[in-house]
Amino acid sequence: MSEPNVAVVILNWNGKELLSRFLPGIVQSDYGHLEIIVGDNASTDDSVSFVRGHFPSVRIIENDRNYGFAEGYNRIIAQVTADYYILLNSDVEVPENWIRPVIQAMEADAGIAAAQPKIKCYSDKSRFEHAGGAGGFMDRNAFPFCRGRIFDTLEEDHGQYDDQAAVFWASGAAFFIKRRHWEESGGFDAELFAHMEEIDLCWRLQNLGYQIIYCPAAEVYHVGGGTLAMNSPFKVYLNFRNNLMIMQKNLPFWEAVWGLSLRMCIDFIALLQFLLKGETKFASAVNKAHYQFIRNLRKTALKRGKTQTPYHKLAGVYPSSIVWAFFVKGIRYFSQLKDFR
């Protein structure tokens, strides 16, 4: 039986240095029916000419301007035909056999829509990486975290998460999705621009009745922070705003009313902490996030799907507060969270 066609799609913006480091390994990937695409978001460096000159087998698709991560990918993938899409960050190193194990796991179950491999640190390959670790989860207040990474604590990989598992979300750093489910779900929400767009997509897929999985039989190594630095006020703004937006879009109505009210109170505490630390730019980013969220309440409401599954019934939901567990109870490792259903 022939293997499905796979397209690896790398969204690039002024990333010549990253492409020169990591594209050679991607081109050498051990998979038969494979197309590699660099989608360029109107770069102003010479990354496009660099790829053309050094990697003639790589297809280049150019956007007319920088549409951000979400809409940038939507526009590129609209021009790609394959059974599976792999959305791969430009700052990811891949070993030889990183594709086939994930595709095989997804082919084994028609109910699986999206997946991720094990994601580890490029700078320390013994540790899980912030962006995805061993699969993404959400707590009762819609705070995202990962197996192998809770807030800023990264675990060493000792094989403790070598079980294939259903998760809430798969990381956008190495995001595998079946084409039919990308098309059915409508892809990323362009309004999110960047950050949490993959969580929103996975949430929508779960509301449609599909599964998201983590596949430990494959792994990749992520640099991280290649687009927005960890200490960027704009990144703080996007994370706070987008988290509220995806809650409004995907929670059942009354769960959204209660959950958003509680979540905005928690965010306000974070704003006060930023002020107490003298980090006024971050406090301002949180305030701006809330203002923009409220301003666009009606617009976001129109994006709600026809079906919202009760939150506690979704895979990968931690029924308690990860904030309380981490900052009050001192829990640092996923394996210490005892009250998963």
**How many domains, in total, are found in the chain?**
2
Residue 46 has pLDDT above 80, yes or no: yes
Residue 146's pLDDT band (boundaries 50, 70, 90)? very high
| Cα distance between residue 231 and residue 307, in whole Å | 36
Residues constituting the chain: 341
Token pair 């990308």 in the structure block, residue: 182
Whole-number pLDDT of residue 1:
64
Whole-number pLDDT of residue 42:
95
Among 227, 292, 296, residue whose Cα is nearest residue 68 = 227
Domain span including residue 273: 233-336
Residue 30 lies in a domain: yes
Residues 248 and 290 in one domain: yes
Residue 148 lies in a domain: yes
Residues 242 and 215 in one domain: no
Residue 1 lies in a domain: no
Concatenated DSSP letters of 32-68: SSEEEEEEE---SSSHHHHHHHH-TTSEEEE-SS--H
Tens digit of pLDDT for each residue in 238-253?
Answer: 999 999 999 999 999 9
Residues 183 and 249 in one domain: no
Residues 57 and 149 in one domain: yes
Q: What mean pLDDT comes out for the span 79-84?
A: 98
Residues 72 and 217 in one domain: yes
Write phi, then psi, for 112 (nearest 5 degrees).
-85, 125
> Of the given ranges (15-24, 185-194, 210-219, 229-238), which has the lowest mean pLDDT?
229-238
Q: What mean pLDDT comes out for the span 33-44?
A: 97
Residues 103 and 35 in one domain: yes
The β-bridge partners of 59 are: 37
Residues 213 and 321 in one domain: no
Q: What mean pLDDT comes out for the span 30-38?
A: 95
Which of 159, 192, 222 lies at the terminal end of a domain, its last residue? 222
Query: Using only C-alpha atoms, what is the Rg of the chain?
Result: 19
Residue 50 lies in a domain: yes
Whole-number pLDDT of residue 332:
95
Whole-number pLDDT of residue 289:
98
pTM for the full predicted model: 0.96
Residues 169 and 129 in one domain: yes
In a 10 Å sphere around its CB, with 0-12 CB exposed, 13-18 middle and 19+ buried, how is residue 314 labelled? middle
Q: Say which DSSP state 321 is in.
A: -
Whole-number pLDDT of residue 316:
97
Residues 26 and 127 in one domain: yes
Residue 341's pLDDT band (boundaries 50, 70, 90)? low
Please state, rounded to an integer, the average pLDDT across all residues of the chain.
Answer: 95
Residue 195 lies in a domain: yes
Residue 227 lies in a domain: no
Residues 238 and 209 in one domain: no
Q: What mean pLDDT comes out for the span 214-234?
A: 83
Residues 84 and 198 in one domain: yes
